[in-house]
Amino acid sequence: MLKASGYAAHNAHTPLTPFAFERREPGPQDVQIEILFCGVCHSDLHTARNEWHNTVYPAVPGHEIVGRVVAVGAQVKHFKAGDLAGVGCMVDSCQHCPSCAEGLEQYCENGFTGTYNADDKHSGGVTYGGYASNIVVDQKFVLHVSDKLDLAAVAPLLCAGITTYSPLRRWKVGKGHKVGIVGLGGLGHMGVKIAHAMGAHVVLFTTSPGKTEDALRLGADEVVVSKDAAQMAQHAGSFDFILNTVAAPHNLDSFLNLLKRDGAMTLVGAPAEPHPSPNVFNLIMKRRTLAGSLIGGIKETQEMLDFCAEHGIVSDIEIIAIEDINQAYERMLKSDVKYRFVIDMASLPAAA
């Protein structure tokens, strides 16, 4: 077995603490990665504190992983020692259902294997994530990372980047389209950057007027304060697509009213409580679509990484040491980060 060190949650109520554990030795199809940086996602906090009521302890979070390949199995063809590599939200899937066959492993009909807190098909235990010194992953779920970008700032692309890129790509956002991004947080700031790079006219919706300057810096063409009914009314029936990143329950009708005929709004924020049900006539009368979207498949995630490398897109980040993770969680709850924390894993104590 391969020794690893990391930080783990041991129950829902106490801070994450250092944790020594073992990974499997790389098999014929496996890639062993030394983790250099790991982004901090709100899902990590939900899991650590058992807010989704499914956490298996000890839990090692982290699914925005960037590192360097240190060893590969005999049958690995596309990676070699020394390569930069990334691992996102999945490390396995059934590989034979219709969704997997189409490269949509995130919708695997038998359930994909999450990078952490999921049943580990190899060890029989639970998967441990990227708040750790190393990870071993099947080559099919390992991604190539460009050396042209800041590696720490690339890490959040493995979740926040693909979560926003996938629906923008699915609805063919491009030049000549008017696109709304609802919310300017970890997801929303990536949505603004990516939609702008795709050539769309980007409008950022926020409840905070103080975010206007930042939104324009990130690539928004306009900013609308969504609590201002007059500002909202000026945009009625004018949007081709709206990407809604807000994870708190809110009135969806106020945004559905802004869509053109055949316009679509896709939800990527996951609220703890359900949204109020939208008015069906808002959909029927303009043939509008209300949809949801979950990360992206491996092929599309690689496409996103290549797109971001081509356009010089990375996340806006604050780098932290691993011992500051508990403080980072508290700050994240207050939205006190612009816009994603990333752990420098060089700060991790070596395995005993």
**DSSP states of 128-140:** --SSBSEEEEEGG
Nearest to 185 by CA among 343, 342, 336, 344: 336
d(CA 227, CA 246): 14
d(CA 60, CA 96): 28
* Bridge partners of residue 321, in order along the sequence: 344
Contact 299, 103 (CB under 8 A): yes
Q: For the chain, give me the number of helices (H) and strands (E)?
A: 11, 17
Residue 352 pLDDT: 54
pTM (2 d.p.): 0.96
Residue 178 pLDDT: 98
The arrangement of secondary structure in 2-159+296-347, i.e. its CATH architecture, is Alpha-Beta Complex (3.90)
The arrangement of secondary structure in 160-292, i.e. its CATH architecture, is 3-Layer(aba) Sandwich (3.40)
For residues 94-107, one letter each, b for 16 or more C-beta atoms within 10 angstroms of the residue's C-beta and e for the rest, the string is eeebebbeeebbbb
d(CA 162, CA 154): 11
For 82-108, write each residue's pLDDT tens digit: 999 999 999 999 999 999 999 999 999
For 150-171, write each residue's pLDDT tens digit: 999 999 999 999 999 999 999 9
d(CA 138, CA 285): 48
d(CA 90, CA 70): 20
Residue tagged 């609590």 (tokens): 227
H-assigned helices in 34-89: 42-48
Joined tokens for residue 92: 């396995």
Contact 18, 5 (CB under 8 A): yes
Residues of the chain with pLDDT under 50: none
Q: Tell me the domain boundaries of the chain.
A: 2-159+296-347, 160-292
